[in-house]
Amino acid sequence: MAIVKIYIDQFLELAKDHPIIDVRSPAEYQHAHIPGAYSLPLFTDEERKMVGTAYKQESREKAIKLGLDFFGPKMRQMVEEVESLVNSYESIVYENSRLSPINSLLIYCWRGGMRSEAVARLMDLYGFKVYTLVGGYKKFRNYVLDTFKLPFQFKVLGGYTGSGKTETLKALRQKGELVIDLEDIAKHKGSAFGNIGMPAQPTQEMFENVLSCELRKILEASPEGGGLVGAWLEDESQRIGNLNIPHDLWNTMRQSPVYFLDIPFDERLTHIVREYGGLERQSIIDAIGRIREKLGGLNAKTAIRLLEEGNTIESFRILLEYYDRFYFKALHNREQLNSLLYTVECNSVTSENASQLIHHPQYETEKL
């Protein structure tokens, strides 16, 4: 077999059905990688540093020889690891109904240079069909950043805190609507309390990588790939926890129509108490401390005291009033808001609110 060098679009298309192998160092992979890629480092972090030092301070030949010293003892283990990975992939059903194992690999390193070439040659020698990414991970990152500049047509789901926007997005998806769940990708619920009970957030780079792939799926679902079929996403601050929505994408969101779920305060308060009231109390108190200055010293002190007394409802009432003021200001900070804002009156927090959204006159007009 021969190793085939392919460009990013074809690489990602093949990645839908074949394993992706990232041969960069563990630290590089941990920082960020192509979503779905399997880490099979050619060098450890220390070995990579040593090879790089030899290349800069001595010669290319010295670096290659040192790299071979590290690579040689790992060859069999790497082949067996890839063999196990490939065997774990589902077989492809052909027209004759026979099952055949996937025998192709996609391999990349940082720039598509010697690391991916070395591992590709080994896997090709063993009998795998190997594709390598021209330009490597660096080319993928360019692809990611270009994604955020595309002319997407979004429908932004707005509403005060406690409106059940996340649940509504899930209901919209179940009804066949395209949805980008920014908070799920960011692993954060978007407020000072948004990290409680959540896993660690990804790095900014990994957040962008996953978000880009989700957005590209929207393009694939659009007529002629033109992004004409918009996706729903939640109205967010540009910052979600420790992560930032890319500036170009943020600008597109701010110019998109906002469907505002108008739900009575007490209904939202009940929903918030149900969602957050059972969380670890000290974590909530710590979160209140993080917004003490904006909340006001007296309000923060009162909210904490009520929480310690077990009066979760009244404690959360103070917090919800604060977030309502905060969101009102952010909502009305848009240019041309009057032409972008569509209010959807709802009696309570329920997944059925999704039906009102997709039958809203403005949304019906957008679909034409």
Name residue, tokens 């590209």: 216
Nearest 5°: phi and psi at 218?
-65, -40
What secondary structure does DSSP assign to 49-90, as a single string? HHHHHHHHHT-HHHHHHHHHHHHGGGHHHHHHHHHHHHHHSP
- Report CA-CA distances (Å) from 173 to 168, 177, 212, 358: 9, 5, 19, 11
Active site residue 109: yes
- Report CA-CA distances (Å) from 197 to 187, 190, 316: 10, 13, 18
Q: Which residues, in sequence order, are CB contacts of 68 under 8 Å at separation 6+?
A: none
**Nearest residue to 3 via CA among 91, 155, 105:** 105
- Report CA-CA distances (Å) from 160 to 35, 73, 88, 157, 328: 33, 59, 45, 10, 8
CA distance 149 to 227: 12
Dihedral sign for Cα atoms in the order 199, 203, 204, 210? negative
CA distance 88 to 237: 41
CA distance 324 to 158: 12
CA distance 327 to 49: 48
Mutual angle of helices 312-331 and 265-276, in 10-degree steps: 120
Query: Based on the number of CB atoms within 10 Å of its own CB, is 161 exposed (0-12), middle (13-18) or buried (19 or more)?
Result: buried
Pick the catalytic residue from 15, 23, 78, 109.
Answer: 109
**Nearest residue to 259 via CA among 232, 236, 237:** 232
Active site residues: 109
